């Protein structure tokens, strides 16, 4: 069983994907972390994330230790990730890893949950269940702000909102694997639903299948 969860930044798809995987005993892959690792490799090397040659090499030989780096979740890393993610060569370098993970999840478990932007459309078009999780940009920025404040960081709502909108714009309008719901995806708008309600809804749908 493969469950594909897509949606824009900070819509709640990661939280949902993790909880679903735990509930079902499935493996979980955060595919955004792979793009973040490539973006972070550039930032750490002092190279512009828009540098094609660097991103190509970094994605061909991904430094998996970057997945554990504290900077992986920084806003700047998310922005760098969305630049490298627009490069077709980076996407194709990361594709095999994602498909392998979905069809042979680690630990011999019976299924995998993958979250990202193009799981239902490109990575796993034959997924058994596709969810597209959205929320308004303002609500997503509000959650990001609260998240950063809870970590003791200084957060600027307006700056975060501008960043969320810019990232949406890049993710939805790129030529390769743009962010969009698969035709057979179930849409879940989390603007007014809390994560528990979204989780219960998703579990009910999985059980139906
Ligand atoms: O989900 P997260 O914010 O960690 O993703 C970071 C960036 O990686 C996204 O803005 C997007 O540009 C890119 N990404 C992608 N395809 C995926 C997952 C993430 O293009 N499957």
pLDDT computed for residue 75 by the predictor: 85
pLDDT computed for residue 96 by the predictor: 92
Residue nearest to atom 14 of ligand 1 (CA): 32
Ligand 1, residue 9: give the atom nearest the CA.
3
Q: What's the whole-model pTM score? A: 0.94
pLDDT computed for residue 194 by the predictor: 85
Residue nearest to atom 3 of ligand 1 (CA): 9
Distance from the CA of 9 to the center of ligand 1, in angstroms?
Answer: 7
pLDDT computed for residue 195 by the predictor: 85
DSSP string, 159-190: HHHHHHHHHHHHHHH-SSS-S---TTPEEEE-
What is the block-wise mean pLDDT of the chain (209 residues), using blocks of 10 residues?
96 95 97 98 98 98 96 92 97 96 96 97 97 96 93 92 94 94 95 90 90
pLDDT computed for residue 156 by the predictor: 95
Residue nearest to atom 16 of ligand 1 (CA): 117
The residues spanned by each domain of the chain are 2-204
pLDDT computed for residue 151 by the predictor: 87
As to burial, measured by CB atoms within 10 angstroms (0-12 exposed, 13-18 middle, 19+ buried), residue 75 is middle
Distances (CA, A) of 46 to 50, 72, 74, 120, 155: 12, 15, 16, 34, 24
Write down the CATH superfamily of domain 2-204: P-loop containing nucleotide triphosphate hydrolases (3.40.50.300)
Ligand 1, residue 82: give the atom nearest the CA.
12
Spell out which residues line ligand 1, taking CB within 6 angstroms: 9, 31-32, 35-36, 78, 81-82, 85, 116-119, 167, 171
């Amino acid at each position: 069983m493969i469950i594909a969860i897509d949606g824009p930044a900070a819509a709640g798809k990661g939280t949902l994907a993790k909880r679903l995987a735990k509930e079902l005993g499935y493996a979980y892959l955060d595919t955004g972390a792979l793009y973040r690792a490539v973006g972070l490799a550039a930032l750490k090397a002092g190279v512009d994330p828009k540098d094609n040659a660097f991103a190509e090499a970094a994605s061909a030989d991904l430094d998996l230790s970057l997945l554990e780096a504290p900077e992986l979740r920084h806003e700047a890393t998310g922005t760098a990730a969305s630049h490298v993610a627009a490069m077709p060569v980076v996407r194709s370098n990361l594709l095999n890893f994602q498909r392998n993970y979905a069809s042979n999840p680690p630990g011999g478990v019976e299924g995998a949950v993958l979250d990202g932007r193009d799981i239902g459309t490109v990575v796993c078009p034959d997924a058994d269940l596709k969810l597209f999780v959205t929320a308004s940009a303002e609500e997503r920025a509000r959650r990001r702000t609260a998240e950063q404040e809870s970590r003791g960081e200084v957060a600027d709502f307006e700056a975060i909102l501008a960043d969320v909108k810019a990232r949406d714009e890049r993710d939805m309008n790129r030529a390769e694997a743009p962010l969009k719901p698969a035709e057979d995806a179930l849409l879940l708008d989390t603007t007014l639903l809390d994560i528990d309600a979204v989780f219960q809804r998703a579990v009910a749908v999985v059980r139906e299948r």
